[in-house]
Amino acid sequence: MNDFWIIVTAALVACSCSLLGCFLVLRRMAMIGDAISHSVLPGIVIAFLISGSRDSFFMLLGASILGLITVFLIQLFQQSGVQSDASIGVVFTALFSIGVVLVSMYTRQVDLDLDCVLYGEIIRVPWDTITLAGMDIGPKAVWILGLVLVLSGTVIGLLYKQFKICSFDPAMAAAVGIPVVLFHYLLMGLVSVTTVASFESVGAILVVGMLVVPAATAYLLTERLSIMIVYSMIVGIISAIAGYYVSMLLDASIAGCMITVAGALFVLALLFSPSHGVVWRKLRQRRSMMETTA
């Protein structure tokens, strides 16, 4: 049963991250998830200092606010003429450093360290359960991640056309009256919530990997956004399941094995994708050269 809950948790993370990751990849903002995952540390610490509790709601709230501040600062720096990658690097390293200082100053006597916040261990998920009316209703991480997936799926589903137009052609979206900035921050808010909700149970490494790799793999396999989202979720789920059993076989990090499997699937797509695959492209080039010489 423990294996089941671990796989379910990883699959929920994969689906939540893959759904949003598709839009990040299309917007060329793949590394924004990495930036948010590090820069929200001050929000987590401040939420703990104010509430005096490690309750997930306060952590989620504080970190989500810092996630939006991160996106705002990155956008502000870009509009001021700073390059995109430099803006991301400056903001997330500065905020992460502030978080490290706060942890070292104010949380030495409690279980709130960098390992706890950033490198959660998914193998502990089955033991952290929720009790309702005296009945164990399952791991807390499954409920939290399930709610986050429902939230993201509902928002994307209701506003799918607007998100699609904003991702492919922001100028056209603005011309037809879609508030591009609002949808940008709405997407970043969902990324912040998803990233932070996954911290304690699976760690930032798995979240960042699932935000980028399945979506990038799906991007190589199809030209349609709706199909890309489905493919990315499938790749994420396969990576979660296969990665777990690989980790058991090798007695290695579960999160590391899951992302390794996702990376292997990406390489396969890069090589053998019908439209973008390196192998098929070389074969088409060779066939074209043979026809030309003939």
Q: Are strands 129-132 and 135-139 parallel, antiparallel or unpaired?
A: antiparallel
Q: What does the pLDDT average to over 192-198?
A: 80
- Give the SS3 label for residue 111: coil
Looking at the chain, the whole-number percentage of residues with pLDDT higher than 90 is 29
CA 120 from centre of chain: 15
58-67, 101-110, 228-237, range with greatest mean pLDDT: 228-237
pLDDT of residue 169: 87
pLDDT of residue 125: 80
- Reading the block at residue 66, the tokens are 């810092």
Confidence of residue 62 (pLDDT cuts 50, 70, 90): confident
Q: Which amino acid is at 149?
A: L
- Give the SS3 label for residue 54: coil
Q: Is 252 left (phi over 0), alpha (psi -120 to 50) or beta?
A: beta
Instruction: Identify any residues that bridge with 139 across adjacent strands, giving them in sequence order.
Output: 129
Q: Is 28 left (phi over 0), alpha (psi -120 to 50) or beta?
A: left
pLDDT of residue 56: 61
pTM: 0.85
Q: How far is CA 211 from CA 39, 113, 123, 195, 224, in A?
A: 16, 24, 21, 9, 18
Cβ-contact 255, 203 below 8 angstroms: yes
Cβ-contact 215, 135 below 8 angstroms: no
Cβ-contact 75, 67 below 8 angstroms: no
pLDDT at 112 over 60: no
End-to-end CA distance of the chain: 63
pLDDT of residue 156: 95
Question: 250: number of CA atoms within 13 Å, CB side?
Answer: 14
Question: Rounded CA gap, 266 and 78, in Å?
Answer: 30
Q: Which amino acid is at 187?
A: L
pLDDT at 290 over 80: no
Confidence of residue 46 (pLDDT cuts 50, 70, 90): confident
Between 184 and 120, name the one with better pLDDT: 184
pLDDT at 180 over 80: yes
Instruction: Identify any residues that bridge with 136 across adjacent strands, giving them in sequence order.
Output: 131
pLDDT of residue 96: 81
Q: Which H or E run contains 134?
A: none
35-44, 88-97, 258-267, range with greatest mean pLDDT: 258-267
Q: Which H or E run contains 245?
A: helix 225-250
6-15, 50-59, 187-196, range with greatest mean pLDDT: 6-15
Confidence of residue 200 (pLDDT cuts 50, 70, 90): low
Q: What does the pLDDT average to over 152-171?
A: 92
pLDDT of residue 107: 61
Between 20 and 138, name the one with better pLDDT: 20
pLDDT of residue 235: 96
pLDDT of residue 240: 93
CA-atom Rg of the chain in angstroms: 20
Q: How far is CA 153 from CA 159, 255, 277, in A?
A: 10, 24, 30
Q: What does the pLDDT average to over 213-225?
A: 92
pLDDT of residue 260: 92
pLDDT of residue 71: 82
Confidence of residue 280 (pLDDT cuts 50, 70, 90): confident
